[in-house]
């Protein structure tokens, strides 16, 4: 796992965007896994800027959302399908039919989750998965206790996650209790994981998953088993890392040609 500590979320967004740009230039029909929440927004802003100002094209790219709330009416402003459209895909030239999300309102949730797994495989698998991390160590909506081998399925949100996400709704009562999410096994199948986090509120979770034991109690710790996981965080999110100086030294001395 590579840990990169940068001064600001803007820098984090730019570095993650560099990696996505390199991927898309090398493989125009790349498959990108899309996270929602606040953390990836600087990435989407930077990719949208590069599209508008520098002609970076996503015309052949496919996108797969990480997760979706269950129970929000179609078109709800905070449904992740809408968030991804608003924050990213509508700002670039991704074809609408190439943007996929797990179906949180299917009558047959199990079949819908399996269909989602099948669609990822049919697209050739995810080349680069963008991730954030919850204050309790979740990735996607794989809350503590999730099977490290799990696939896309319905999950119940931890109360802490509902509280954390209440800022996107008028009140906590409106935050759904259930979600469908790619499983930890699904996420681990992506060829490159890029997790971004910023702010002191993430410092405990970052310390736990980067330097703690691999455990279902801290789902993001599964990244320690991935052959290509890049963790890009700001100083505040890195503030509790015992090995911060080592990570900084490694990155500062990394050959530029290696990229991330």
- Shortest distance in whole angstroms from residue 67 CB to ligand F6R: 5
Positions touching ligand F6R (CB under 6 A) are 35-39, 66-67, 132-134, 138-141
CB of 249 to ligand F6R, least distance (A): 28
Residue in 152, 127, 120 with CA at minimum distance from that of residue 31: 127
CB 228 within 8 A of CB 193: yes
Nearer to ligand F6R, 160 or 224 (CB): 160
Residue nearest to ligand F6R as judged by C-beta position: 132
The DSSP symbol for 49 reads H
Q: Which is nearer to ligand F6R, 57 or 154 (CB)?
A: 154
| CA–CA dist 146, 138 (Å, integer) | 9
Among residues 66 and 194, whose Cβ is nearest to ligand F6R? 66
Whole-number minimum distance, CB 241 to ligand F6R, in Å?
Answer: 18
Q: Helix, strand, or coil here: 96?
A: helix
For 53, other C-beta atoms within 10 Å of its C-beta total 8
**Complex with ligand F6R: residue 168 or 248, whichever CB lies closer:** 168
Shortest distance in whole angstroms from residue 255 CB to ligand F6R: 30
Nearer to ligand F6R, 29 or 163 (CB): 163
Contact indicator for 18, 42 with CB cutoff of 8 Å: no
CB burial readout 178-199, b (16+ within 10 A) else e: ebbbbbbbbbbbbbbbbbbbbb
Helices (H), the chain: 9-26, 41-54, 80-87, 109-122, 159-165, 184-188, 203-211, 244-252
By C-beta, is 51 or 155 nearer to ligand F6R? 155
Judged by beta carbon, residue 45 or residue 67, the one nearer ligand F6R is 67
Q: How far is the CB of 36 from ligand F6R (least distance, A)?
A: 4
Tell me the closest approach of the beta carbon of residue 176 to ligand F6R, in angstroms: 13
- Between CA 64 and CA 32 the distance in angstroms is 6
* Alpha carbon 260 to its chain's center: 16
| Shortest distance in whole angstroms from residue 195 CB to ligand F6R | 9
Residue 177 contacts by C-beta under 8 Å, 6 or more apart in sequence? 71, 156, 157, 162
């Amino acid at each position: 796992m590579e840990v990169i500590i940068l001064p600001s979320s803007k820098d984090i967004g730019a570095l993650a965007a560099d990696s996505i740009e390199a991927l898309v230039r090398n493989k125009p029909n790349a498959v990108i896994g899309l996270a929602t929440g606040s953390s990836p927004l600087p990435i989407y802003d930077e990719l949208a800027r590069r599209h508008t100002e520098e002609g970076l094209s996503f015309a052949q790219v496919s996108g797969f959302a990480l997760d979706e709330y269950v129970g929000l009416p179609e078109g709800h402003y905070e449904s992740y399908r809408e968030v991804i459209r608003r924050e990213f895909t509508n700002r670039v030239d991704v074809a609408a039919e190439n943007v996929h999300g797990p179906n949180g309102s299917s009558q047959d949730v199990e079949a819908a989750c399996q269909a989602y797994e099948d669609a990822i495989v049919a697209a050739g698998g995810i080349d680069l998965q963008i991730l954030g991390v919850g204050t309790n160590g979740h990735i996607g909506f794989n809350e503590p206790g999730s099977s490290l081998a799990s696939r896309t399925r319905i999950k119940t949100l931890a109360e802490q996650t509902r509280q954390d996400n209440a800022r996107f709704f008028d009140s906590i009562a409106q935050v759904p209790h259930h979600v469908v999410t790619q499983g930890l096994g699904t996420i681990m199948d992506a060829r490159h994981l890029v997790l971004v986090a910023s702010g002191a509120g993430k410092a405990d979770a970052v310390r736990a998953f980067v330097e703690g034991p691999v455990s279902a109690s801290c789902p993001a710790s599964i990244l320690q088993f991935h052959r290509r996981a890049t963790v890009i965080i700001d100083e505040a999110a890195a503030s509790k890392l015992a090995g911060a100086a080592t990570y900084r030294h490694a990155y500062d001395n990394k050959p530029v040609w290696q990229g991330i």
